[in-house]
C-alpha cells in the first residue's frame, strides 16, 4: 500500500526568510530613501520634512570644505587604490615563487587586514608623530636635521592616511592576487620557459594579463574601501590639521553631528552613494551580461 503524498511545503523556507528579508530591506533601502529625502529637506539640528529641492546640493558644492574633501578623495583614492594593487601584486608574485617560509610571510602580510582601521590609525599616529615617532627616533640617533612632520603639515597630512591605508590593504590585495596566480596552469609557464622567455617577461606578458578578472574584483573592493573611509581618518588625523584631511565621509559626519547641518550631511552621503554606484553598477552589469 503506497503512502499518500505529502503536499510540498515550498512556502515554509520563504516564511522563515521573510522577516530577515523585510528587516534588511527596511534598514538598508528604506533608510537610503529616507536619507535621500533628508537631503532635499530643510533639516538642520533635527529632521525637518519641508521640501526645499536641490538647494542643499547647491550649498554643498559651494562649500570650500567639501571641495577640500573631494580633492582629498581624489588624492587618497588614486594613491591608495594604485599603491595597494601594485604592492599587493608584487607580494603575490614573490610568494608565488614557492619561497621558504611562505606560510609565515603570508600570515605577516595578511595580519594588518585582521585589525580595525581605528587600531591602524592610532598606531600610525604614534609612528608619524614628530615628538615620539620616526622623526624623534632618527634625531635621537644623531641626525638632528632630519624632519618627517607630515602629520602636522596641512599640505602633506593626507599622504599619511595614504601610507596607513596601503599598509593595511595591500596584504588583502596580495591574498586575492595569490589565489588568482595559483589558479593558472603551470604548463603555460613551463612552455614559455622552454621557448626561452625570462621569468619577468612571462609574468608581464602571460601571467598578469590572465589575472584580469581578479584585477576588476580587487578594484571594486579597494575602491569601496577608499570611498567610505572614515575611521582611519578619524583615528589618524581627525580631519586635521584644520580640515585639510577631510574626506566626504568625515565631512558628512562633521556636518550632521557637529555643525547641526543634517540636510547638508545627507546630501554629502548621497554623493558618496552615487560614487559607489557609478563604480559597482557597471561592473555588476558587465558580469551578469557575461554570464548570460
Residues 14-47: tens digit of each pLDDT: 787 888 888 888 888 888 899 999 999 988 888 8
* Domains held by the chain: number: 1
Which band of pLDDT confidence, cut at 50, 70 and 90, is reported for residue 2?
Answer: low
Contacting residues for 6 by C-beta, under 8 A, at least 6 apart: none
* pTM (2 d.p.): 0.85
pLDDT of residue 188: 78
pLDDT of residue 72: 94
Q: How far is CA 204 from CA 110, 146, 197, 215, in A?
A: 25, 39, 11, 14
pLDDT of residue 108: 85
Structural domain contains residue 30: no
pLDDT of residue 124: 93
Assigned C-alpha cell, 102: 611562505
Structural domain contains residue 45: no
Structural domain contains residue 258: yes
Q: Answer whether residue 5 shows pLDDT above 60.
A: no
Structural domain contains residue 228: yes
pLDDT of residue 3: 57
Residues 131-171: tens digit of each pLDDT: 888 898 898 998 888 888 899 888 999 999 999 999 999 98
Q: Tell me the residue range of the domain where 198 lies.
A: 63-291
CB 273 within 8 A of CB 39: no
Residue identified by cell 636635521 is 145
Q: Answer whether residue 274 shows pLDDT above 70.
A: yes
Structural domain contains residue 94: yes
214-218, 229-233, 284-288 — which is least confidently predicted? 284-288
Residue identified by cell 559651494 is 62
pLDDT of residue 285: 74
**In 3-state terms, what secondary structure has residue 64?**
helix
Structural domain contains residue 25: no
Residues 127-136: tens digit of each pLDDT: 999 888 889 8
Q: Answer whether residue 253 shows pLDDT above 80.
A: yes
pLDDT of residue 209: 84
Which band of pLDDT confidence, cut at 50, 70 and 90, is reported for residue 185?
Answer: confident
CB 75 within 8 A of CB 162: yes
Q: Answer whether residue 192 shows pLDDT above 90.
A: no
Q: Answer whether residue 197 shows pLDDT above 80.
A: no
**Of 184, 285, 170, residue with least CA distance to 218:** 170
Structural domain contains residue 110: yes
Structural domain contains residue 17: no
CATH number for position 114: 1.10.3720.10
pLDDT of residue 221: 86
Residues 51-91: tens digit of each pLDDT: 998 999 999 999 999 999 999 999 999 999 999 999 999 99
137-151, 169-183, 198-212, 277-291 — which is least confidently predicted? 277-291
Amino acid at each position: 500500500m503506497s503512502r499518500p503524498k505529502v503536499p510540498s511545503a515550498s512556502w515554509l523556507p520563504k516564511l522563515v526568510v521573510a522577516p530577515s528579508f523585510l528587516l534588511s530591506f527596511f534598514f538598508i533601502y528604506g533608510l537610503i530613501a529616507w536619507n535621500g529625502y533628508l537631503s532635499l529637506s530643510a533639516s538642520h539640528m533635527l529632521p525637518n520634512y519641508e521640501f526645499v529641492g536641490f538647494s542643499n546640493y547647491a550649498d554643498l558644492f559651494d562649500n570650500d570644505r567639501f571641495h577640500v574633501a573631494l580633492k582629498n578623495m581624489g588624492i587618497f583614492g588614486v594613491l591608495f587604490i594604485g599603491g595597494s594593487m601594485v604592492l599587493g601584486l608584487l607580494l603575490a608574485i614573490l610568494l608565488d615563487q614557492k619561497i621558504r617560509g611562505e606560510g609565515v610571510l603570508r600570515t605577516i602580510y595578511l595580519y594588518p587586514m585582521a585589525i580595525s582601521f581605528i587600531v591602524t590609525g592610532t598606531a600610525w599616529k604614534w609612528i608619524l608623530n614628530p615628538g615620539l615617532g620616526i622623526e624623534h627616533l632618527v634625531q635621537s640617533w644623531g641626525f638632528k636635521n632630519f624632519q618627517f612632520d607630515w602629520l602636522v603639515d596641512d599640505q602633506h597630512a593626507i599622504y599619511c592616511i595614504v601610507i596607513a591605508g596601503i599598509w593595511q590593504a595591500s596584504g588583502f590585495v596580495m591574498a586575492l592576487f595569490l589565489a588568482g596566480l595559483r589558479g593558472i596552469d603551470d604548463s603555460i609557464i613551463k612552455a614559455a620557459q622552454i621557448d626561452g622567455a625570462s621569468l619577468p617577461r612571462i609574468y608581464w606578458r602571460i601571467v598578469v594579463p590572465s589575472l584580469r578578472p581578479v584585477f576588476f574584483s580587487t578594484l571594486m573592493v579597494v575602491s569601496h574601501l577608499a570611498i567610505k573611509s572614515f575611521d582611519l581618518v578619524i583615528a589618524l588625523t581627525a580631519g586635521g590639521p584644520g580640515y585639510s584631511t577631510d574626506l566626504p565621509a568625515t565631512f558628512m559626519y562633521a556636518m550632521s553631528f557637529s555643525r547641526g547641518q543634517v540636510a547638508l550631511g545627507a546630501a554629502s552621503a548621497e554623493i558618496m552613494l552615487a560614487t559607489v554606484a557609478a563604480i559597482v553598477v557597471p561592473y555588476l552589469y558587465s558580469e551578469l551580461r557575461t554570464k548570460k
